Structure 1
Amino acid sequence: MTRYRFFTATSLDGFLADEHESLDWLLSQPTDAEQSILPYDVFVQDVGAIVTGRATYDWVVGHLETVADAWVYDQPTFVFSHRELPEDFTGITRVSGPPAAHRARLEEVAGDKDVWIVGGGDLAFSFAEAGMLDEVFVSIAPVTLGSGKPLMGGRLDLELRELGRNGALLEARFAVTGARS
C-alpha cells in the first residue's frame, strides 16, 4: 500500500523557509548521515513519486547549477500549481485541485513505493485533510527565524514514533493520526 510521507526540515520555531524563502539557515547546519534515524539515501529508495508545491518547485529550479540542468529527482514529480510551469523538465507534471483528485494517478505512478510530499506546509496539510498523509519526518535545526513559511498549514494530531539526532539536527518521525480544520 502506498504511504504518503512529508520528509522535511524546520527551524526550531517551526518555519520551512525564512521570509525571503531562503534555506541558508538549514544548509549551513552540520549533519552526519551515520547518526540519522532515516538517512536521505535510504528514504529516497522507497520513493516512487514526488509531489511539491509551486514555491518549492521554483526554489529548486532557481538553485540548479545551470538552466540546462536536469530535474533534481529521478522519480516522476507532480507540481501542484494553478499556473503553467516556466521550465520543461522530463518527469514533471503540473496538476491542480485537491490531492484526492489525483490519488489514483499518484498511487499508480508510485507503484509499491511511497509518495514523498517535498513541500510546502500548506500542501502537506491539504494531503492530511484528504486522509493522504501517513507520516511526518522532520529534522529540526537549532535556529529560530521569527517568521517565514510555516512547517504545516493547519492543525494535525501526531504520534511520536522515533526520535534521534543527525549532527546538529534533532530528528523526529511522527505518524499522522488526524487532521483538524
Structure 2
Amino acid sequence: MTTTPAEQAAMRRALSLAATPGVPLGPNPRVGCVLLADDGTEIAEGFHRGAGTPHAEVAALTEAGDAARGATAVVTLEPCNHTGRTGPCVEALIAAGVRRVVFAQRDPNPVAAGGAAALQEAGIEVEAGVMATVARGVNRAWTFAVEHQRPFVTWKFATTLDGRSAAADGTSRWISGTDARRDTHTLRAECDVLLVGTGTVLIDNPQFNVRDELDQPVEHQPLRAVMGEREVPADSRIFDAPGEALRLQTRDPAEALKQLYAAGRQHVWLEGGPTLAAAFLKAGLVDEIYAYVAPTFLGAGANAVGDLGITTINDQLRWHLKRAGVIGTGADATVRLTLEPAKAGL
C-alpha cells in the first residue's frame, strides 16, 4: 500500500496545521488532520487547540459532517485509542464511516497507542509512517517526554568571550544584546516550564516570563518553577501574574523533572545560575544548549557554569555544535550557538 500525491500534499497541510502558532502548550501533542474525498479533494481539516478541546480528527469530522463517510483521514499522529478528557479518536473515525487512515508518527504513549490496530480490525485501511520524521519534529519535546518519562531540558545561558555570566559585583544585565534578548523570548515561548534556582530569585528577582516584540507579557505564559531548598520571599516578582508559578522544594534535578513530568510538563527551559546548570550537567539531564556569546570581556566574575568536578582534559563534557548564527549587529551583536550532546565515539 502506498500513498497518493493528494495524500502526501494533505499530510504536508496537516503538519502545517499541527504547528499552528498560538496553540497553548500542554500535556497533549500537536496534531493536524485533513479529510480527503475519493478524488483527492479536501473535504475538511482540523487541528488540536489545546488540552480539553476536540482532537484534530474530531475537529475535522465535525466540519465534514456526513461528507466524512468513505473519506480518507490524513493525520500527523496515530489516532488515539483511549478516553481522556475527550473520547477515543479511533471510535470517532469508525463511527463517521472513514474508509482509510494515513498517519505519520506512531503514538509512543502506551496509554493512547493501538489506534492503528483498532482501525484495521474495524475494516479501515491504514497507512503508517508517512513523513514520520517531520511529525516527530513538530512534537519533539512531547515525544521525548513520553519516551523518557521526563521533560526535555534546554539550558540557555549568556556569556562573555572569557566565559563570564556576571561581573565581579554580581551584575549580569545585560551581557547579550537587545536582539538576542528578543530571540530568547521567542525560544522561551516554545517551552512549558521556565526553571530557575532559588539563588537566581534571591539575587536577581526576575520576572522570568515570555514577552513579545513590544516587551509586553504574552497571553499564554509557561509555568515558572523555582527549584531549591532555600526560602524565597512570597512577594518575589517570579510569583506575579500573569501565569502560574511553582516551588520545587528539592536540589535534585531528577526529582525536579519527575515532579514537572507528573504535572504534565514536557519541555523545561533552564535559565538558572552556574550552580543549577552544573547540577543538571553532572546529572546528564541537559538535552540541548543555547549559548549566547557576546563580544565582550569581564576578566572576573561568575562563570557560566559551576564546578563539574573535572580535573583533566580527557574528562571534558563535549557537545556537538548543531548550528551557529549572529544575532544583531555591531557592538550589539551576539553569537548564538545551538548544541546537542555529542554522540558516543565522537
Same fold (TM over 0.5): yes
Determine if contact 1:47/1:115 at 8 Å carries over to the other structure: yes
Q: 2:168 aligns with which of 4, 14, 19?
A: 19
Overall identity of the aligned pairs, in %: 24
Poorly superposed stretches of 4+, deviation over 6 Å:
none
Determine if contact 1:15/1:145 at 8 Å carries over to the other structure: yes
Q: 2:339 aligns with which of 170, 174, 177?
A: 174
- Once the two structures are superposed, what CA deviation does each residue of 1:84-105 show, in whole Å capped at 9, x if it has no partner? 1113425131422211122211
Counterpart CA distance in 2 for 1:18 and 1:83 is 24
Equivalent position of 1:31 in the other structure: 179
Question: Matched residue pairs, number?
Answer: 164
Counterpart CA distance in 1 for 2:295 and 2:270 is 23
| Cα 1:21–1:57 shift into 2, 3 Å | same
Q: 1:80 aligns with which of 217, 224, 227?
A: 227
Determine if contact 2:248/2:256 at 8 Å carries over to the other structure: no
Counterpart CA distance in 2 for 1:12 and 1:21 is 17
Counterpart CA distance in 2 for 1:49 and 1:32 is 20
Equivalent position of 1:148 in the other structure: 301
| Cα 1:139–1:87 shift into 2, 3 Å | same
Q: Secondary structure at the match of 1:119?
A: coil
Equivalent position of 1:10 in the other structure: 159
Q: Secondary structure at the match of 1:16?
A: coil
Displacement after TM superposition at 1:171 (Å): 1.1
| Cα 1:78–1:147 shift into 2, 3 Å | same
Q: Secondary structure at the match of 1:123?
A: helix
Equivalent position of 1:129 in the other structure: 282
Q: Secondary structure at the match of 1:31?
A: helix
Displacement after TM superposition at 1:110 (Å): 5.5
Q: Superposition RMSD on alpha carbons, in Å?
A: 2.4
The one of the two structures with greater contact order (alpha-carbon pairs below 8 A, sep at least 6) is 1
- Once the two structures are superposed, what CA deviation does each residue of 1:98-124 show, in whole Å capped at 9, x if it has no partner? 11122211223463x410111112211
Q: Secondary structure at the match of 1:103?
A: helix
Q: 1:101 aligns with which of 231, 237, 255?
A: 255
Show structure 2 runs of 5+ residues with no match: 1-143, 145-150, 210-220, 309-315
| Cα 1:92–1:101 shift into 2, 3 Å | closer
Q: 2:323 aligns with which of 131, 156, 162?
A: 162
Displacement after TM superposition at 1:157 (Å): 1.7
Counterpart CA distance in 2 for 1:105 and 1:147 is 36
When normalised by structure 2's length, the TM-score is 0.43
Amino acid at match of 1:174: L
Determine if contact 1:48/1:109 at 8 Å carries over to the other structure: no
| Cα 1:25–1:145 shift into 2, 3 Å | farther
Q: Secondary structure at the match of 2:339?
A: strand
Amino acid at match of 1:80: M
Look at both structures and tell me which one has the larger radius of gyration over its CA atoms. 2
Show structure 1 runs of 5+ residues with no match: 64-70
Task: Indicate the structure with greater strand content.
Answer: 1
Determine if contact 2:165/2:175 at 8 Å carries over to the other structure: no
Counterpart CA distance in 1 for 2:200 and 2:286 is 18
